[in-house]
Amino acid sequence: MLRVEHLEAGYGDVPVLKDISLNVAASETVAIIGPNGAGKSTLVAALCGLVQPRAGRILHREAEVTRMPAHQRARRGLGVVLEGRHLFGELTLRQNLTLAAAHARADAGAKPKIEDAIAEVLELFPFMRERLNDAVELMSGGEQQMVALARALLLRPEVLMLDEPSTGLAPLVVKQIMSTIGVLRSRGMSIILVEQNVALAAEVADRAYVLSVGRVVHEVAKGEWPRFLADDSLVKAYLGG
Amino acid sequence: MTVKRAALIAIAVVLWACLPWLAPRYLIDLMVFAGIYTIAGLGVAFLLGQCGIVTLAQSVFYGIGAYSVAYFCAQKGLPSPVAVIAGVALSAVIATAVGWPVLRLSGYFLALATLALAIIGHVLFLEWDWLTGGTLGIGGIPHIDLFGLVLNSPQRYYLFVWPIAVALLWLHHNLVHSRNGLALRAMRDAPEAALVLAVDTHKLKVQMFVLSAMLGSLAGSLFAHYVTFVSVDSFAIDRAISFLLLAVLGGVYTVWGCVIGALFITIMPQWLSKLGDIHAFVFAAALIATVILLPEGFGGALQKWWRARATGRRTQS
């Protein structure tokens, strides 16, 4: 579904990602884990088109998207929830959702009506039904994170990237978000989960790539989570735990 | 719409329609200019308020609209609608050609790029005297003939210009509250999030820049038909600054703000001129005080007051 080959990217003259190669299959959940400053968020920014790579290739459904602008990647089905949520705070929840639904990917069969698409997403987040006319800036951090997730889902992505969705949230809210990710996974969506909390990532991800100083230093293969988590030396070496 | 609101609108319309017979001629003349500046300033306010773009290039498009009328009507004898449409179309083409590369910039760099465009435009208006008449200008521009009614007095032009301005304000209001308006506000408040929500922010910016330029051109055409003479002095940098000023003073987040801004920059200097030589200083002080005390402009302050009043009433009941 998504393949990255020898990707290099950074900001200005500062290189951040060095020779990153990874792949995400259809219906697979892959975690990107690593300590602060490893380049996880830069990787997400490069994958969704907010940072232009200096070298390497990004392929979505075997078509190269490396130089494609961010809005076109979103239309192709690469959805993202950025770290820090980036909501349109002045707009109401309904307006946030409407804006996303209006730009939904059109090449996945008949595009549902905006109202129908919003109703579908509200099934996942029932609390939103009562808050549709509230300004998003007045919501709690957890609610805002769910709005960001709902907005990304309204684009009907094939691959959903989540950049640190649990940061700064109460354990109960984190549980709700992880449970939603579980639902999406069961529906066959490919998910890239960037997460600092390794135990949390292990709960939902099939596999993981460990990033350190801009490089993939380890790969946790399918079924290897228990061995990885049990090996303190591995966790300490890669994640500084 | 409530009865009270409908009554207020009806009273405003009656007052507006009676003004030419109640107010002195010089005031109606100023009101005509305020109407024309409202249209040009609307484009600037829209770009600043909805897209976060500071433009100083509006004087160029204002000039294109005016010279289009001067060239096609006064020199070629073509009817006014042809000249106005030609000016608007030319402005749209130039705004697209310039906006596409320039609008990739942001912040101060973008403002400087539009300032450069204003300077280049002014130099070209001056140098291309075969087309613009240079410093001598072009005279003999006919008044608009509206089905046999020649708009050759401030009173008639006032009754012609303001409905156009109000119609454009209404269209602007509708655009802000449309789905495209949501995308604009999203782009202004969180540009990266708008991009990853599949909003083509660059294209949207260019489209809005073109729309703003078309408004500038229309205002320039109306100006040329009113004063019947155009010269390069009317399209210098100070004109671009005054359009930006009226947008900021009026308040860029409210649709009606630029009406207040246009009235302020048109009428206030005239009233203050009674003070003699000191009037320019007093006007400058008034501008600074307004910007400091009302950072959201007159329109923003009025809206805040109105909302607070409405909230207070709801709380009481």
Is B32 inside any structural domain?
Answer: yes
Q: Please check whether residue A113 touches B, CB under 8 A.
A: no
pLDDT tens digits, residue range B138-147?
999 999 998 8
Q: Which residues contact B74 (CB under 8 A, 6 or more apart)?
A: B138, B139, B140, B141, B142
- Out of A50, A95, A103, the one facing B198 most closely (by C-beta) is A103
B14 is a domain residue: no
CB-based contact A86 B190, cutoff 8 Å: yes
CB–CB contact B190 A155 (8 Å):
no
CA distance A151 to A96: 7
Question: Cβ contacts of residue A32 below 8 Å, gap of 6+?
Answer: A40, A43, A44, A192, A193, A194, A195, A208, A209, A211
Torsion, Cα B298 B301 B305 B310, to 10 degrees, reads 90
The answer to whether B233 faces chain A, any CB pair under 8 Å, is no
pLDDT band for B256, please (50, 70, 90 cuts). Answer: confident
Residue B21 located in a structural domain: no
Cβ-defined contact of A86 to B201 (cutoff 8 Å): no
Question: What does the pLDDT look like over B151-182, one tens digit per residue?
Answer: 999 999 999 999 999 999 999 999 988 888 99
Cβ–Cβ of A49/B197 closer than 8 Å? no
For residue A241, pLDDT beyond 60 = no
| Interval B79-91: pLDDT, tens | 999 999 999 999 9
**Is the CB of residue A95 less than 8 Å away from at least one CB of chain B?**
yes
Contact state of A49 with B196 under an 8 Å Cβ cutoff? yes
Cβ of B190 within 8 Å of Cβ of A49? The answer is no
Chain B residue at shortest CA distance from A151: B197
Asked if the C-beta of A3 comes within 8 angstroms of chain B's C-beta atoms, the answer is: no
Which chain A residues are Cβ-neighbours of B182 within 8 angstroms? 88, 91, 95, 98-99, 102
Confidence tier at B303 by pLDDT (50, 70, 90): confident
Q: Which residues of B touch A46 (CB under 8 A)?
A: none
Q: Is B290 inside any structural domain?
A: yes
- Whether residue B179 lies within 8 A of chain A, CB to CB, comes out as yes
Contacts of A113 in chain B (CB under 8 A): none
Q: Which amino acid makes up residue A239?
A: L
Query: Does residue B312 belong to any structural domain of this protein?
Result: no
Q: Is B145 on the interface with A (CB under 8 A)?
A: no
pLDDT in tens, B82-135: 999 999 999 999 999 999 999 999 888 999 999 999 999 999 999 999 899 888
Whether residues B199 and A99 touch (CB distance < 8 A) is answered with: yes
Total CB pairs under 8 A between chain A and B: 68
Closest residue of A to B181, CA-based? A99
- On whether residue B231 sits in a domain, the answer given is yes
Distance from CA of B169 to the nearest CA of A (A): 22
Q: Which residues contact B44 (CB under 8 A, 6 or more apart)?
A: B55, B58, B212, B216, B243, B244, B246, B247, B258
From residue A149, alpha-carbon distances to A180, A203, B33, B239 in Å are 9, 19, 50, 47
> Is a pLDDT exceeding 90 seen at residue A45?
yes
- CA-CA distance, B35 to B28, in Å (whole number)? 10
Residue type, position A99, single letter: L
Provide the residue range defining the domain that includes B178.
27-303
- Tell me the residue ranges of DSSP E strands in A159-236: 159-163, 190-195, 207-212, 215-220
Chain B residue with the nearest C-alpha to that of A51: B192
Instruction: Give the gap in angstroms from C-alpha B308 to the nearest C-alpha of chain A.
Output: 17
* A95-114: pLDDT as tens digits: 999 999 888 877 656 667 88
A75 touches chain B (CB under 8 A): yes
Distance CA A164, CA B224 (A): 58
Nearest to B196 among A70, A89, A95 (CB): A70
Q: Using the structure block, give the residue that is written with the tokens 């009614």.
A: B149
The Cα-based distances of B146 to B2, B39, B162, B206 in angstroms read 35, 20, 15, 34
Min distance A241 CA to chain B CA atoms (Å): 32
What backbone torsions phi and psi does residue A163 show, to the nearest 5 degrees?
-100, 105
Which residue from A49, A74, A89 is facing B197, i.e. has the nearest CB?
Answer: A74
B217 in contact with A, Cβ within 8 Å: no
Verify whether the Cβ–Cβ distance B197 to A91 is below 8 Å: no
Tokens representing B174?
């509708």
Is A99 within 8 Å of B193 when comparing Cβ atoms?
no
pLDDT at B28: 95
Contact between B197 and A82 using a beta-carbon 8 Å cutoff: no
Domain A2-239: top CATH class: alpha beta
Based on DSSP, count helices (H) and strands (E) in chain B, helices before strands.
14, 2
- Res B61: pLDDT: 97
Per CB-CB distance under 8 Å, the chain B contacts of A50 are: 192, 195-196
A124 touches chain B (CB under 8 A): no
**Interface contact A48-B199, CB threshold 8 A:** no
Q: Whole-prediction pTM value?
A: 0.88
* Structure confidence at residue B254 (pLDDT): 85
**Beta-carbon separation of B193 and A87 below 8 A:** yes
Q: For A116-132, what is the mean pLDDT?
A: 88
- Amino acid identity, residue B5? R
State the CB neighbour count (10 A cutoff) for residue A230. Answer: 9
Task: Check which CATH number belongs to the domain holding B235 and give it.
Answer: 1.10.3470
Instruction: Output the average pLDDT for chain B.
Output: 91
